[in-house]
Structures are given as C-alpha cells and as structure tokens.
C-alpha cells in the first residue's frame, strides 16, 4: 500500500567492489604514472651522460683595478679557482707570494697576476719588445709620465721638423733596485731617464736620435 500511495520505492545503489574501485582509479591516473616514469628515466640518463666538472686550480687575480707602478698589497689581490686548462703559465696560487711586487702595466680587476704584468729587477717589457732608457728634453714632461702611460717619442733638431721615432711606447717603472744613485749623475737641468718598452727597430732609432736630436714625448691612448 505504501508503494502505491507514495510511488515506487527508491532503488538502492549498490557499491562497487573495492577491487573495481582500485582498477578504475589506476586507469584514470595511468597517464600521470607514465609521465612520472618517463621523467625519472630521463633524469637518470642525464646523470649518467653529464660530464664531470673540469679540474680547477687556485689563481691569484687582481681584486680591483690596479694602476701601473702599484706596489701590490693584500687588498689588491684575491684567489679564485679557474679551470686548470685555462691557467696561464707562471700564475701564482698564493697572494702572499706577490705582495710587494710592482705592476708594469695597468691590471683590470679579475685579471690573473702573471709575470708579464709585473716589473722585475731585470726590467722587462711586454713580449716582443725591448727596454730603452730615453732622456727627454723637457724635465717637467719626464716627471709627469707614470708607468703604464703610452707615448709617442718625437726627435727634432733646430733644422728639421719633428719625426716620430717610436709609437705608443710603454712607460715602465724604475727598476726595483733603483735608489738615489739613479739620478746621481744628473745636473739640475737634465731630465731623469725614462724607461720605455719599444720594438727592436724603434730602439735603434732612439739610439741614433739621442745623439743628434732632442726627444719629446706626446701622451697617446
């Protein structure tokens, strides 16, 4: 009677077996599982084929821009690690080994401190150059020049116009052993000698010009 009065009894929903539920869930997530598996496999392959990091070596570099003629202090130096294959010959691994040395050329921050940028007691210029001592006609100009400056050296006589005998010569620091005896033979009107790095041919031109001409210097970039 109740069914006739209020309509048919609602159907009872049967719960699926749990195994069926599990299979359905696995089917829905099958693509996610495949993607995770592919990602894990790719990661494993990358770990196998990834090359080992290159070997490195400690190298002393300039901690900041260092002007030519600077006596190096601890604050001017720092040690970094560089790939061994890129380390220049003669590079130092200990900052203490370079403290007290002087730079022959300007050294930008980050550049390794190698023998080629240092002024040595033997007085050396960059590769491919020789060192010449020149005496300029104007002592004030000679006093103005600092190591690392590039100059054109001009020879002139009262009868002839000036001729460039050395282009972009590099002014070098005085030798580390130099003292007051460096200028002991100078008279009051003489300019102190200036050490410059020039080519072999320019050194010969300077030697000849020093005998018969007055030498002057022009600062160039």
Residue 172 Ramachandran class (φ > 0 left, ψ -120 to 50 alpha, else beta) = beta
**Tokens 């320019």, located at residue:** 202
Give the tokens for residue 159.
Answer: 């009868």
Query: How much is the pTM?
Result: 0.49
Helix or strand run (H / E) with residue 186? none
**Alpha carbon 90 to chain centroid distance?**
15
- Sorted by where each begins, the domain ranges of the chain are 16-50, 56-118, 130-220
Question: What is the pLDDT, as a whole number, of residue 79?
Answer: 94
Give the H or E element holding residue 169. Answer: strand 163-171
What is the pLDDT, as a whole number, of residue 20? 59
Listed in sequence order, the residues at least 6 apart from 57 whose beta carbon sits closer than 8 Å to its beta carbon are: 81, 82, 83, 84, 87, 91, 93
pLDDT per position as a tens digit, 138-160 = 888 888 888 888 999 999 888 87
Radius of gyration of the chain (CA): 39
CA distance 56 to 33: 42
DSSP H/E element including 25: helix 18-28
The token duo for 20 is 């069926």
Mean pLDDT by 10 residues, the chain (221 residues): 54 57 58 68 63 84 87 92 83 89 83 79 75 87 85 87 90 64 50 85 87 87 85
Residue 109 near residue 65, CB atoms below 8 Å: yes
Q: What is the pLDDT of residue 193?
A: 85
Assign a CATH topology to domain 56-118.
Type Iii Antifreeze Protein Isoform Hplc 12 (3.90.1210)
Nearest alpha-carbon partner for 105 in 95, 88, 122, 119 = 119
* pLDDT of 185: 46
């Amino acid at each position: 009677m109740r069914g006739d009065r209020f309509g048919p009894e609602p159907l009872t929903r049967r719960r699926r077996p749990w195994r069926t539920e599990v299979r359905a869930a696995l089917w829905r997530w099958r693509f996610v599982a495949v993607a995770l598996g592919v990602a894990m496999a790719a990661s494993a392959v990358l770990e196998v084929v990834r090359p080992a990091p290159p070997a490195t070596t400690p190298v002393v570099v300039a901690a900041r821009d260092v002007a030519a003629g600077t006596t190096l202090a601890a604050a001017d130096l720092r040690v970094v690690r560089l790939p061994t294959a890129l380390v220049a010959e003669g590079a130092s691994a200990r900052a203490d080994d370079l403290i007290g040395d002087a730079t022959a050329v300007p050294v930008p921050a980050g550049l390794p401190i190698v023998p080629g940028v240092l002024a040595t007691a033997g007085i050396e210029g960059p590769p491919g150059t020789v060192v010449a001592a020149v005496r300029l006609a104007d002592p004030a100009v000679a006093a103005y020049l600092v190591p690392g400056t590039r100059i054109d050296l001009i020879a002139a006589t009262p009868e002839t116009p000036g001729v460039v005998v050395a282009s972009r010569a590099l002014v070098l620091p005085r030798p580390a052993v130099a003292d007051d005896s460096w200028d002991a033979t100078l008279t009051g009107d003489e300019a102190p000698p200036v050490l410059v790095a020039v080519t072999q041919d320019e050194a010969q031109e300077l030697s000849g010009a020093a005998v018969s001409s007055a030498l002057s210097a022009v600062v160039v970039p």
